Amino acid sequence: KNQVEQSPQSLIILEGKNCTLQCNYTVSPFSNLRWYKQDTGRGPVSLTIMTFSENTKSNGRYTATLDADTKQSSLHITASQLSDSASYICVVTRRAAGNKLTFGGGTRVLVKP
Amino acid sequence: SQTIHQWPATLVQPVGSPLSLECTVEGTSNPNLYWYRQAAGRGLQLLFYSVGIGQISSEVPQNLSASRPQDRQFILSSKKLLLSDSGFYLCAWSVESGTEAFFGQGTRLTVV
| Residues pairing with B49 in the sheet | B34, B57
Asked whether the beta carbons of B37 and B45 are under 8 A apart, the reply is yes
> B51-105: per-residue pLDDT in tens?
889 889 887 767 899 999 999 999 999 999 999 999 999 999 887 655 667 889 9
- CB-nearest to A46 from B36, B44, B100 is B100
A16-53 burial, b if ≥16 CB within 10 A, otherwise e? eeebebebbbebeebbbbbbbbbeeebbbebbbbbeee
Which residues on B lie below 8 Å from A51 (Cβ)?
A: 99
Kindly determine whether residue B99 and residue A32, on different chains, have CB atoms separated by under 8 Å: yes
Model confidence at A105, in pLDDT bands (50, 70, 90)?
confident
Report pLDDT digits (tens) over A9-51: 999 999 999 999 999 999 888 888 999 998 887 888 889 989 8
Q: Which residues of A touch B6 (CB under 8 A)?
A: 43
At B99 the pLDDT is: 60
Which amino acid type is present at position A82? L
Close Cβ partners of B56 (under 8 Å, ≥ 6 residues apart):
B48, B49, B50, B65, B66, B67, B68
Q: Is B109 on the interface with A (CB under 8 A)?
A: no
With cut-offs at 50, 70 and 90, classify the pLDDT of residue B44.
confident
CA-nearest residue to B33 within chain A is: A98
